[in-house]
Amino acid sequence: MNWKFWKSTPQNNFEFWSVFDPLNDPRLDHLWPQPASQFFPEWFKNVPRNIDNDPAKPTIRKCPVFPEFMTQGYIIPMWCDFDIHIKQDGSWAWEAATQGNYGWEWHHPDQYLNWLPDNEQSKWCLSLKAENPWRIKTPEGWSCYVHAPLYHFNEVQPLSGSIRTDISHEINVPVVFPKHMLGTTVTLKRGDPFVWLIPYRREKLDLVKRDYDEKTQRMTAAAHYNVMSKFDNGYKIAGQKSDKKGL
């Protein structure tokens, strides 16, 4: 590989490509990694902003923490329909809707499940590794957190981790299946959110205890007023102004 050329590519992009060539076709762009905002949970959209239309009784919908979190990063959708057949004895097999798709490998219990505390071991019956056909590259100094799409509440759970995607581009994620799936066939549908990637810059922040003096009190009060002095979207507006200033 021409490393000089590789390092000369733009350094402000989240780049992706598939080693399973059919997925690189633009006609399949709905199966490409997408901004997480494209997979915003439907159930959350149905939550009212206030209980009984009372502004003094806000719901989770009005709390800025959750929509900001849910729209961070990128989602890798499931690239094919899969059936995972799990027998009562824990043995398993998989089949795909078409041939030649990247599928599933066994993740030996001694790699993860057998080392969990007893109360956690009792929750899971199987661990597999998805042969993810996508490769991810972030700029130098950037990594990706890897999560299950948390607020989609999928029972099949990719394990969380962190990958230095500026130097390692393959993301084959261990996935655990809950105990009640023994003796069943689990269907994973093409296009459903599968893995959530949140890029972050690897920077160390010093931990400093700040005195709660008069200056700090004024700063705390001003920040609170800046957000709370509007009925709606105070946090969002404050954030947008901060972003424009580069804060």
Is pLDDT of 123 > 70? yes
How many domains are there within the chain?
Answer: 2
pLDDT of residue 2: 44
Is pLDDT of 179 > 70? yes
* pLDDT tens profile 72-95: 999 999 999 999 999 999 999 999
Q: Which domain holds residue 80?
A: 16-201
* pLDDT tens profile 24-54: 999 999 999 999 999 999 999 999 988 998 8
My answer on whether 174 and 233 are in the same domain is no
d(CA 109, CA 119): 16
Q: 38-56 burial, b if ≥16 CB within 10 A, otherwise e?
A: ebebeeeeeeeeeeeeeee
> Is residue 11 one of the residues assigned to a domain?
no
My answer on whether 163 and 185 are in the same domain is yes
Phi/psi for 236 (5° steps) reads: -65, -45
My answer on whether 126 and 226 are in the same domain is no
Cβ(170)–Cβ(121) under 8 Å?
A: no
> Is residue 9 one of the residues assigned to a domain?
no
What is the mean predicted confidence (pLDDT) over 218-240? 81
Q: 146-181 burial, b if ≥16 CB within 10 A, otherwise e?
A: bbbbebbeeebbbeeeebebbeebebebbbbbeeeb
Name beta bridge partners: 153: none
My answer on whether 154 and 228 are in the same domain is no
d(CA 243, CA 235): 12
Is pLDDT of 13 > 90? yes
My answer on whether 129 and 172 are in the same domain is yes
* pLDDT tens profile 56-72: 898 988 888 888 999 99
d(CA 6, CA 8): 5
**Which CATH number belongs to the domain containing residue 174 in this structure?**
2.70.40.10
Q: Which of 180, 201, 222 is at the close of a domain?
A: 201
pTM of the predicted model, to two decimals?
Answer: 0.86
Name which residue leads in pLDDT, 100 or 221: 221
- Token pair listed for 187: 């269907």
pLDDT of residue 11: 65
> Is residue 76 one of the residues assigned to a domain?
yes
Summary mean pLDDT of the chain: 90
My answer on whether 54 and 126 are in the same domain is yes
My answer on whether 165 and 225 are in the same domain is no
> Is residue 4 one of the residues assigned to a domain?
no
My answer on whether 156 and 233 are in the same domain is no
> Is residue 150 one of the residues assigned to a domain?
yes
> Is residue 170 one of the residues assigned to a domain?
yes
pLDDT > 90 fraction of the chain, expressed in percent and rounded: 75
My answer on whether 65 and 94 are in the same domain is yes
What is the mean predicted confidence (pLDDT) over 128-153? 96
Is pLDDT of 143 > 80? yes
What is the mean predicted confidence (pLDDT) over 169-179? 95
